[in-house]
């Protein structure tokens, strides 16, 4: 059985699992070295490396499938243009059917409570993602993406990177708040790898999933995203995601001219999200097998591609083409209409993938339309590529309700600092207008359920195991050894059956020690036992544990099962972290 198979079995070697850094008298720096090794930032760096490798592997798998299916792997739009009519229709249908069968097998083989989406694991769950479920969903997404489905590849890439963080947390059997943080670190690494945007990747998870920009969570996210970006630079090369011609805004009037684009993006975003929601509703009303739904979604994409092959894929190559060349307003309106329909068909049918890149596509076309209109009214005032990038940022902020992340995301993806000021203004405007028209963002389901998840945490979710214990009648030297090894202020006392009897305070124990060595072999005096030592039950909710801590000055509380057996302990700092994350959502 792998070490991560258990949920609460914390190895004694892990200082985080015991809540201590045990230092040997012979090696005074041993505990310090262990503490540094176990620091969340160090773990975040390792998760960043693992997450980057997994996402790079997924990207290469897509290229491999495309080469096998079409004889080449470049732009899906370019591939679609080179195919005959029936050849454009068939691949999305086959890909949808295969993707649906894989999702059906996922539901059959893996129980629903065993780890689903990474956002759910961070916000709702215990920080665990099931390996088989994640891999099967990644394969399903691979089938959809490689066959031309109008969906982003970033979704499964982030899921796989988050899986790396989940495995790290389970390997060390960490408490739930820490496991959630490491899943978040993996997700940040995945976003950074998908878009070559480490800062925005960290802020995406902090602003959208965690809803917190506190340093305690943001620092590990940044380290994980930064490390992942380094790996991408070394193994896969580095270049801005979107190739924008150099443009500079030299006058305030140019920036002011772009402000209506933020208002336009904020007004259009709720309509876009409503179309996606309606597609989900219509497919849910159709009581058909999952493979048939996804196959139908692929069929719709294939049929639309007969009219507009640009609907294949996530739209990345089309956005780059709009940035480099001038498109007429008629061509932009047509590709926008057909692309939104294709994205709705793919996502509504239940396909696994990302909606992030298609959202950027819609924002880019919206910006190009606005830029073309400006050129007709005031020729030469604002270059169209500038309006394209501003439109992407404003529309992304309007859909995600995360303006800070959107500003940095577009800056990192284009590497154009000259656009920061108009990006800041339009992203905030887009967010304000969109939020006023529609409170729910594109990630509303996860964000709305964060608070109940924190409230449902129980002591079992925060459990550490293997506390220092002694039994009645053991020699004084055994008790002394437990205190020396643990550096705790109390040692727990159990009977032969493992039932909790109380605790021995270190202060009282020191008063009982005699100057001669004969006392070490004597049984410890029963009067040292503090039978009224506070304790909590395994199923106690977090608020009840907090209430017990409010009356107890110590840093730890023993956790008992229904038969009063000592199972482990909870640490006050873990509960404080949980409360901090919960209060951040209020």
Look up residue 231 and give its two tokens. Answer: 């790996």
Q: Find, among 512, 494, 510, the residue nearest to 502 by Cα.
A: 494
Single out the residue in 440, 455, 470 at which a domain terminates: 455
pLDDT of residue 295: 96
| Alpha-carbon span 223 to 73, nearest angstrom | 32
Three-state DSSP at 235 gives helix
Tell whether the model's pLDDT for residue 30 goes beyond 50: no
Q: Are residues 496 and 427 in the same domain?
A: no
Q: Are residues 201 and 74 in the same domain?
A: yes
Q: Are residues 259 and 224 in the same domain?
A: no
Examine the domain organization and report whether 118 and 104 are in the same domain: yes
User: Residue 207 maps to which CATH number?
Assistant: 1.10.3080.10
Per-residue pLDDT band for 453 (boundaries 50, 70, 90) equals very low
Mean pLDDT is lowest, of 116-130, 140-154, 229-243, 317-331, for 116-130
Question: pLDDT tens, 528-545?
Answer: 899 999 999 988 888 788
Q: Which of 400, 431, 455 is the last residue of a domain?
A: 455
199 and 109 in one domain?
Answer: yes
Residue 354 · residue 158 · CB < 8 Å: yes
Confidence of residue 9 (pLDDT cuts 50, 70, 90): very low
Q: What is the pTM (predicted TM-score) of this model?
A: 0.74
Give the number of other Cβ atoms within 10 Å of residue 506's Cβ: 15
The whole-angstrom separation of Cα 578 and Cα 349 is 36
Contact indicator for 55, 276 with CB cutoff of 8 Å: no
131 vs 116: CA distance, rounded Å? 10
Tokens of 528: 């040292």
**Residue among 159, 225, 150 nearest 195 (CA):** 225
Decide if pLDDT at 586 tops 50: no
Cα 473 from chain centroid (whole Å): 50
Question: Using one digit for the tens of pLDDT, what is the confidence trace for 207-232?
Answer: 888 777 777 788 899 999 999 999 99
Give the model's confidence band at 116: pLDDT under 50 very low, under 70 low, under 90 confident, else very high: low
Take residue 23 and report the two structure tokens written for it.
């230092």
At 269-294, the pLDDT tens digits run: 999 999 999 999 999 999 899 999 99
pLDDT at position 376 is: 92
Q: State the Cα–Cα distance between residues 192 and 227, nearest whole angstrom.
A: 9
Handedness of CA 453, 189, 155, 242 (dihedral sign): positive
Q: What is the pLDDT of residues 543-573, one digit of tens each?
A: 788 888 888 888 899 999 888 999 999 988 8
pLDDT at 110: 55
CA distances from 117 to 17, 321, 338, 399, 430 (A): 26, 33, 29, 20, 28
The domain containing residue 545 runs over which residues? 459-583
Domain end among 399, 427, 455: 455
Estimate to the nearest angstrom the gap between the alpha carbon of 273 and the chain centroid. Answer: 21
What ranges in 308-402 are assigned the alpha helix state H? Answer: 316-324, 329-348, 356-377, 384-400
Distance between alpha carbon 480 and the CA centroid of its chain, in Å? 45
**Band of pLDDT at residue 35, cut at 50, 70 and 90:** very low
217 and 257 housed in the same domain: no
318: left (phi over 0), alpha (psi -120 to 50) or beta: alpha
Residues 451 and 524 in one domain: no
508 with 528: CB under 8 angstroms? Answer: yes
Q: Is residue 394 part of a domain?
A: yes
Residues 439 and 508 in one domain: no
Q: Do 310 and 162 fall within a single domain? A: no
């Amino acid at each position: 059985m792998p070490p991560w198979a258990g949920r609460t079995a914390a190895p004694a070697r892990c200082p985080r699992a015991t809540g201590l850094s045990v230092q040997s008298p012979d090696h005074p720096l041993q505990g310090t070295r262990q503490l540094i090794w176990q620091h969340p930032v160090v773990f975040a760096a390792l998760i960043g490396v693992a997450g980057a490798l997994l996402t790079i592997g997924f990207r290469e798998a897509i290229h491999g499938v495309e080469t096998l299916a079409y004889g080449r792997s470049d732009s899906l739009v370019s591939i679609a243009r080179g195919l005959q009519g029936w050849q454009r229709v068939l691949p999305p249908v086959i890909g949808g059917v295969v993707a649906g069968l894989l999702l059906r097998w996922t539901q059959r083989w893996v129980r629903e409570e065993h780890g689903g989406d990474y956002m759910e694991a961070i916000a709702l769950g215990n920080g665990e993602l099931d390996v088989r479920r994640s891999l099967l969903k990644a394969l399903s997404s691979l089938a959809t993406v490689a066959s031309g489905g109008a969906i982003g590849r970033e979704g499964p890439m982030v899921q796989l990177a988050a899986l790396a963080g989940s495995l790290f947390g389970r390997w060390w059997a960490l408490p739930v708040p820490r496991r959630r943080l490491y899943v978040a670190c993996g997700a940040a690494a995945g976003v950074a790898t998908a878009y070559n945007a480490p800062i925005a990747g960290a802020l995406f998870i902090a602003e959208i999933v965690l809803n917190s920009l506190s340093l305690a969570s943001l620092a590990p996210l940044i380290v994980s995203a930064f490390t992942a970006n380094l790996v991408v630079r070394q193994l896969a090369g580095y270049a801005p995601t979107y190739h924008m011609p150099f443009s500079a805004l030299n006058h305030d009037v140019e920036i002011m001219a772009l402000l209506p684009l933020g208002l336009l993006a904020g007004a259009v975003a709720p309509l876009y999200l409503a179309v996606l929601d309606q597609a989900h509703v219509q497919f849910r009303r159709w009581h058909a097998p999952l493979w048939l739904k996804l196959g139908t979604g692929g069929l719709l994409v294939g049929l639309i591609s007969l009219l507009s092959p640009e609907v294949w894929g996530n739209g990345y190559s089309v956005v780059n083409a709009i940035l480099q060349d001038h498109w007429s307003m008629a061509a932009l309106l047509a590709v926008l209409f057909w692309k939104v329909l294709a994205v709705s068909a793919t996502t509504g049918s239940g396909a696994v993938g990302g909606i992030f890149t298609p959202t950027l596509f819609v924002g880019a076309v919206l910006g190009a339309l606005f830029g073309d209109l400006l050129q007709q009214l005031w020729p030469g005032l604002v270059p169209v590529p500038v309006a394209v990038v501003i439109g992407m940022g404003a529309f992304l902020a309007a859909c995600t309700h995360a303006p800070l992340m959107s500003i940095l995301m577009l800056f990192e993806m284009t590497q154009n600092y000259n656009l920061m000021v108009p990006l800041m203004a339009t992203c905030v405007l887009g967010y304000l207008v969109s939020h006023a028209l529609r409170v729910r963002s594109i990630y509303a389901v996860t964000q709305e359920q964060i608070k109940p998840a924190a409230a449902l945490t129980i002591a079992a979710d925060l459990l550490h195991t293997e506390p220092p214990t002694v039994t009645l009648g053991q020699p004084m030297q055994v008790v002394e050894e437990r205190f020396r090894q643990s550096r705790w202020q109390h040692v727990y006392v159990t009977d032969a059956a493992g039932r909790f009897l109380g605790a021995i305070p270190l202060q009282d124990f020191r008063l009982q020690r005699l100057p001669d060595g004969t006392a070490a072999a004597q049984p410890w005096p029963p009067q040292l036992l503090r039978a009224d030592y506070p304790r909590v039950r395994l199923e106690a909710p977090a608020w009840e544990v907090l209430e017990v801590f409010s009356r107890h000055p110590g840093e730890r509380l023993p956790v008992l099962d229904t038969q009063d057996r000592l199972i482990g302990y909870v640490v006050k700092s873990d509960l404080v972290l949980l409360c901090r994350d919960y209060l951040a959502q209020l």
